[in-house]
Amino acid sequence: MKRWRPLYLLGIILMAIVVFVGAILSFLGFTDEASRGRNAKEFWRDFLEDFNWQEFPWENFPFDMLEDFPWDTLPWDDLPENFDWNSIPWENLPENFPWEKLPWKDPPENFPWDRVPWNDVAWDRVPWDEIPEDFPWEKVPWEELPEDFPWEDVPWSEAPPELWEDFPWTELPENFPWQLLPWLAIPPALVPDDAFPEDFYPEAWEHEHVFSGDWVLVSPATCGAAGEEINECILCKRTIHRAIKPTNLHTFDEEGICGVCHVRRLILMSESKSAQYSGEPLVGDTVPVFLAGSASLLEGHMLNTAGLRFAKCRELGKAVNSFYFVNKVCVIDGAGRDVSSQYYVEKVFGTLELTKREIVLRTKTKQKKYDGTPLSGDEGKPDDYTVEGLVGGDRLVDVVFGESVTDRGMRRQNEIVSFRIVNAAGEDVTGNYAVQVEWGWLIVTP
């Protein structure tokens, strides 16, 4: 079949030419020029409509040799599946090429998008929802599109990033759908400052709202309910709502109930605690007490004691015994549900005081007869001194005794002149102790 295709093609062309020439000669003798033109088109239309397009050698047909080829007569919607679209001379098509008859609604996979002369396209017929991934976005004449161009049909989210670098931002029409552009994919630096219309700014772009006037009150805040006010951002033109915190300025009656919002007042106080240093922090974990002025809890309601968290005092001195409820769940019902919104909780804090630990440091009394050698309190024995009251794990280190005695009849206190106390981790905790001393004596007899 391939060997005979050129002969078949030549036969078609010769037959067409012979019939066409014959028809022209007949028309020259019997018709005027206008009639001859109409009859020539009718001849081509009849010829092409009756032709077996399934057998037509598309890949070899010399369209460019026929200046008056009747493109509008081709059965575009019935072309065979193996039709070679690249065989059409896209770059040399006539001005009256029937673009509207192309199968835009169902373009074939091998449709030569990059060879379409886009300046002559009927834009309302382009199937924007079916364009391929390799659609030639850069060949669309964005700056010269007609007023009725279907801007809203373009799948902007599929456009390549490089399109926005040369996009005609400042030459777009008034009806351009700015809100449809994929702003998350468009760097702000690519858009000129004066490109946007006055009533538009990309919501997807992160920015700090700028306001030119005062906030307008929509609803005032009350003691238990938030209010609302609005303003307009001069950049994105959006109306911005913001809440006004409740005033919390309740008016409580003698029973501790607000006359406006009916919330119940609870005044909770943590206890004060004091303890000596023990190696552990002092925790203020006592259940708060209700002070005078508090309302009673509603039936079935109780404090969320499991959610209470208290302060810890780790250093010597006083600290506030503050407390809070986890996730602000202050009051729960019998099923454990949060009912805190029905209560207004005030807190009064006690104190935590961590004091020094009292201990007693003792040395023994030692004596001997004069022998010319010194008598010292530090003999390197475990019982050279004793300590009463140390926290478990704490111990004395760097212990230094006072002077020894040698001469007859000498008598001196068996004192320790310096020492340190460290904990199990080796940290110096001497300052956490109040040390009382009980010294023995060093005595040399005659």
Higher pLDDT, 428 or 36: 428
Average pLDDT estimate for 419-442? 96
Contact yes or no for 371/398 (Cβ under 8 A): no
Q: What is the mean pLDDT of the chain?
A: 84
Q: What is the pLDDT of residues 294-333, one digit of tens each?
A: 999 999 999 999 999 999 999 999 999 999 999 999 999 9
- pLDDT over 50 (residue 30): no
Q: Rounded to whole angstroms, how far apart are CA atoms 17 and 385? A: 133
Following DSSP, what letter does each residue of 241-262 receive, concatenated? EEEE-------B-TTSBBTTT-
Element (H, E) at 78: none
Block residue for tokens 């014959």:
22
Pairing of strands 308-310, 343-348: unpaired
pLDDT in tens, 213-230: 899 999 999 988 899 999
What pLDDT is attached to residue 139?
A: 87
CA nearest to 249, candidates 258, 257, 236, 238: 258
Q: What are 343-379's pLDDT values in tens digits?
A: 999 999 999 999 999 999 999 999 999 999 999 999 8
Q: Measured between alpha carbons, how far is 289 from 350 in angstroms, rounded to an integer?
A: 11
User: Which stretch of 40-54, 247-261, 354-368, 396-410 has the lowest confidence by average pLDDT?
Assistant: 40-54
pLDDT at residue 54 greater than cutoff 50: yes
Sheet containing 343-348, strands listed edge to edge, beginning at the edge strand earlier in sequence: 289-290, 264-269, 343-348
Report how far residue 396's alpha carbon sits from residue 437's, in angstroms, rounded to the nearest whole number: 14
Residue (of 50, 41, 31) closest to 68 by Cα position: 41
pLDDT in tens, 89-142: 777 777 777 877 787 777 777 788 888 888 777 787 788 888 888 888 988 888
DSSP secondary structure code for residue 305 in this structure: G
**φ/ψ of residue 87, rounded to 5:** -75, -20
245 and 226 Cβ atoms separated by less than 8 Å: yes
The pLDDT confidence band at residue 87, using thresholds 50, 70 and 90, is confident
Q: Please give the pLDDT value at position 33.
A: 55
Contact indicator for 392, 414 with CB cutoff of 8 Å: no
